[in-house]
Amino acid sequence: MTIINLDHISSKPLLPDVKEAMIEAINNDYANPSSQHKKGEEAAEALEKARESVARLINSNMPKEIVFTSSGTESVNHAIKGAVLANAEKGKHIITSNIEHNAVIRSLRRLKSDGFKITSVSVDENGRVNPKDIADAITDQTILVSIMHSNNETGTIQPIEEIAKITKEKKVLFHTDAVDSVGVVSIDVQKMGVDLLSFASNTFYGPTGVGGLFIRRGTVIWPLLDGGVQEGNKRAGAENLIGIIGMGVAADIANRDFDARLDHLNKLKNRLLQELPNYIDEYIINTPLEDSLPNLLSLSIKYIEGESVMLMLDDEDVAVSTRSACATGSLRASHVLLSIGLDHADAQGTLVIAFGVDNKEEDIITFLTALKHIVKTLRDISPLSSKTH
């Protein structure tokens, strides 16, 4: 079956070159990179080559600033818990926003039960944090600010550089969850000024189950995984070398194709925005047109349920999502959409359309044609809709 994938935020396909590199790695029978014999050294070299490629993608000029992890989630847990526990003696206050990913929310909830205080700043109707709110929230007890780079449900990009100026001045560590940004939009850790930045390989068409954490030189955080001396003593455990090699190649290609990808994604998003009124009415675009991910559009369709639309589109071989795949199983309305001011009904009627490099403009028309029919069917049976139509 050929499925039109408009759910790239949940999962992106591996690029052909990434597949090839991973298959080569599988067939190469690498040894343990920590072993001191020849076979071990060969593995260690492959590991460091991937680290250089990934460092280049976020413009770190020191590959040692990159720690490989098993996912964006591990990177976030490592950054937050590691930073907080290493600095617990300085204070017990952490600042975040109310639109973060579950990895941030639940890591902080864990710390809260351990006696840490969390301030969660609100966002405006575009889902954006006001840097002034961060500045106002910082006290002499604050040890960490964690604000995501881009939101995985609305695509909103946060003013990270401005926030970093504030945290730097106040000498507070700053972590940004950039899992949906690295490899999609330009990320320059030198310019941004963050201390910690989490990312994941699949965002740039590398394998899932591989991530990275940028730890700025001189930033001391505790490991999350204690044990062996891997990753410069920052993260113990035998490396997923096959996955890391795939991530390295994906980073190289992301660097090479960066501008072309951005053009392609912007073109798809603009086409969707332009065609949308020709197919459906009464909808809300939750994604701000300025400073947002080029590959994502959040769309709330009035009087119907997003989950029903998603399942009916699935029958037509079009994959979209209603929210973060990580929150699957939760029936509650998205905290992100409520935070930007949507009511519960509109939040439940939301689809996240996420493009990838493999999408074509025709995919948008196929999607919209199916969507038009589904929206009509659902509204015809919707009690909410019958009141107003």
Query: Cβ 382 to a second copy, closest distance in Å?
Result: 21
Query: Cβ 358 to a second copy, closest distance in Å?
Result: 10
* CB neighbourhood size of 265 (10 A): 22
The span from the CA of 321 to the CA of 301, in Å, is 14
**Which residue, 101 or 379, is less far from a second copy as judged by CB?**
101
Query: Cβ 162 to a second copy, closest distance in Å?
Result: 27
Annotated catalytic residue within 137, 236, 262, 326: 326
Query: Cβ 169 to a second copy, closest distance in Å?
Result: 30
Query: Cβ 80 to a second copy, closest distance in Å?
Result: 9
**Which residue, 227 or 263, is less far from a second copy as judged by CB?**
227
**Which residue, 155 or 306, is less far from a second copy as judged by CB?**
306
Would you call 326 a catalytic residue per the annotation? yes
**Which residue, 164 or 213, is less far from a second copy as judged by CB?**
213
**Which residue, 112 or 217, is less far from a second copy as judged by CB?**
112
Q: Which residues form the catalytic set?
A: 326
